[in-house]
Amino acid sequence: MRKIPRTMATQHPDNANVPAWVKSGESIEGDDEIYEAYLSYSYYGTEEVMWDAEGKDVDTHVLRKLLSMYPEFFKDNVIGKDIFLTYRLPNPFIEGVDRKVFSETLESIPINYDVGERFYGEAVTVPVFETILPMTTSSEELIAVYRYYEKAVVNKENIELTENLRVRDLVGETKPKWIELIPLVENKESLLNIKKIVEKFIRTIKVSYLRVFIARSDPAMNYGMVPAVLLAKHALSELRALEEETSVQIFPIIGVGSLPFRGHLSPENVQNVFREYRGVWTYTIQSAFRYDYPSEESRNAIRFLNISKPYEKPKLYNDEDRVLMGIVEKYIQSYQKVIEALAPLINELAKHVPRRRARKLHIGLFGYSRSAGKITLPRAITFVCTLYSIGLPPEIIGASALSDLKEEEWNSLISNYANIDIDFREAFKYYNEDNLRILREKFNFDESIIDQIRRDANYVESTFTGRKSSEDYSVIKHRLLSTLTLVALRDGKESEVKSNIVEMAKLRRSLG
């Protein structure tokens, strides 16, 4: 069995601080990302780097540059065997403007093979062989992408060019002959149907094992923090059941950021997350994890994950799953009502959030329909940043829905979401009740929405924190800055809004 990496460095732009080695201002781009990939392996010790072609211009010559710039390191650490480079593709079924980028990225895999063969020697390694398909919603998508590589990338080597020449005579044989596909499952319907999606792919392609990527950020943005956690637990349960039915090993990946809303995987909280997500094999190590904490803390936390193999399988749900999904539906109704009302303010404030990666403009679709149609929101990191920046941590929104739970539901919740008090307590520190008055008086928010947010906050405080807001200096400063940010936004003081957003992000050690 090949080595399955435990830690995956990603390019999620959630870092508040800009690393000192960045040459291009506030944004990590171009050859800085090449150096970053090298650092992720050599300094931070992550076992895998996700090279992201989704929503940004991607350098498909990354392998050639890594091997030519840092040959000694990569001679001793073989890419594709000891450490791994994994592409995240644009989803051609959803991101129509990037369909050719999808094709270009897959076409680069054989080029990487040739580069690796020249560097390592024949048959030593297949340097790049895994690709992540984001926003996977069906087995048909997975099968189509797999077949595309097989038929459109590999099999074209047999096309006749002249009576005596085929494509392979001109450009050489195409290797590898196969790719391994990692479905990234992100919305509620797909997470609930993950077993069906994955099972058909397994049985059609006849894989011997499979890595499956479970999202945490986008489900939280669309449905709230508690539903995101419970949906992830449901997906893990379904994957375990499928593994037992098919005897195909499944290695789950969880996409977690530093703040509680996006998974709470920070160097300070790594052991809690390890215990929370039983059976997860690979954890994403996002930018804030690496750049917003003392580097030795980050490296030690990564080392812990690398050596700590999962000691338990995911829990198998039966009747209890019905109870948990009932909680999800109750929470979603409460959460989405408030987010819909806040959407215009979120989008206005999002313009002032600094871009830490050179991503193309991308608006995430808020995943539900109302009579007025669908609303749009920024990407999850920016979404989280805007709400923290006005003293309304998104973790607390919708929480009062839990006050209506029956005893069976409550017991099921707290037994299946082990860190619920830790997550709420950490987020609640940054709540600023004073800003509710400003929202009502200066931004004309409906009283019912203000009352709902206040009920959510009061419920979190009384149920999970048991105390008034933290008196820590950095937390007090954050609350004051969140008020100044709201007032500055009202008065059109754009430079102050942006500087305050960055300063608050540094205080909480993550942009969003």
pLDDT tens profile 48-65: 999 987 655 667 789 999
Question: 360: pLDDT confidence band, cut at 50, 70 and 90?
Answer: low
- Which of 389, 387, 415, 398 minimizes the C-alpha distance to 460? 398
pLDDT at 277 over 50: yes
pTM over 0.85: yes
pLDDT at 366 over 60: no
How far apart are the C-alpha atoms of 343 and 350, rounded to whole Å?
A: 10
Residue found under tokens 């098919």: 246
Question: 470: pLDDT confidence band, cut at 50, 70 and 90?
Answer: low
- At residue 359, the pLDDT reads 60
- At residue 368, the pLDDT reads 35
Question: 496: pLDDT confidence band, cut at 50, 70 and 90?
Answer: very high
Q: Stretch 468-477: mean pLDDT, rounded?
A: 82
- At residue 371, the pLDDT reads 31
pLDDT at 348 over 90: yes
How far apart are the C-alpha atoms of 356 and 365, rounded to whole Å?
A: 21
> Which domains does the chain carry?
7-307 (3.20.20.60), 320-508 (no CATH)
Per residue in 111-137, pLDDT (tens digit) is 999 999 999 999 899 999 999 999 999
Mean pLDDT lowest among 2-6, 13-17, 29-33? 29-33
- At residue 357, the pLDDT reads 84
Q: Which helix (H) or strand (E) holds 241?
A: helix 225-246
Mean pLDDT lowest among 24-33, 53-62, 220-229, 323-332? 53-62
Its sign, for the CA torsion 38, 46, 225, 17, is negative
Q: Stretch 410-419: mean pLDDT, rounded?
A: 96
Question: 361: pLDDT confidence band, cut at 50, 70 and 90?
Answer: very low
To the nearest whole percent, how much of the chain has pLDDT over 70?
Answer: 95
Question: 310: pLDDT confidence band, cut at 50, 70 and 90?
Answer: confident
Per residue in 384-402, pLDDT (tens digit) is 999 999 999 999 999 999 9
Phi, psi angle pair for 256, to nearest 5°: -120, 135
Per residue in 236-246, pLDDT (tens digit) is 999 999 999 99
pLDDT at 403 over 80: yes
Cβ atoms of 264 and 235 closer than 8 Å: no
Residue found under tokens 């539901």: 409
Q: Stretch 38-42: mean pLDDT, rounded?
A: 98
Question: 364: pLDDT confidence band, cut at 50, 70 and 90?
Answer: very low
Cβ-based neighbours of 131, under 8 Å, separated by 6 or more: 86, 87, 88, 89, 105, 106, 109, 145, 179, 180, 181, 182
Residue found under tokens 């054989």: 110
- Which of 183, 263, 173 minimizes the C-alpha distance to 217? 263
How far apart are the C-alpha atoms of 112 and 105, rounded to whole Å?
A: 11
Question: 367: pLDDT confidence band, cut at 50, 70 and 90?
Answer: very low
pLDDT at 374 over 70: no
- At residue 365, the pLDDT reads 41
Instruction: Identify the DSSP state of 79.
Output: B
Q: Stretch 335-339: mean pLDDT, rounded?
A: 96
pLDDT at 363 over 60: no
How far apart are the C-alpha atoms of 470 and 426, rounded to whole Å?
A: 10
Q: Stretch 464-472: mean pLDDT, rounded?
A: 73
| 180 strand-pairing partners | 130
How far apart are the C-alpha atoms of 359 and 93, rounded to whole Å?
A: 20
pLDDT at 370 over 50: no
Mean pLDDT lowest among 69-78, 95-104, 353-362? 353-362
What mean pLDDT value characterizes the chain?
A: 93
Instruction: Identify the DSSP state of 293.
Output: S
